[in-house]
Amino acid sequence: MTSYADRYTLDTANLGELVDRLTRPLVFTNGCFDILHRGHVDYLEQAALLGQSLVVGVNSDASVRRL
């Protein structure tokens, strides 16, 4: 059985190859989505409309604390 981390965490060694295969234009955004709510969904839907591919970075708890 594949773990959650293995399914949804990208290995940085393969990240460039994956990004190269994404359809352009490419949109990137990031944020803290600990409790996903309607505002987050609206934001991500709007971001997705700006291009053909959307990449979402999820900030770690430590990075959010440094803000």
Instruction: Kindly list the domain boundaries of the chain, sorted by start residue.
Output: 17-65
22-25 CB contacts, 8 Å cutoff, 24+ apart: 22/52, 22/53, 22/55, 23/52, 23/53, 24/51, 24/52, 24/53, 25/50, 25/51, 25/52, 25/53
pLDDT of residue 31: 95
pLDDT of residue 65: 93
Where is mean pLDDT largest: 7-11, 18-22, 25-29, 62-66? 25-29
Look up the pTM and report it. Answer: 0.77
pLDDT of residue 3: 81
Number of H helices, E strands in the chain: 4, 2
pLDDT of residue 12: 83
Q: Are 22 and 55 in contact (CB under 8 A)?
A: yes
Has residue 9 got a pLDDT over 90?
A: no
Has residue 6 got a pLDDT over 80?
A: no
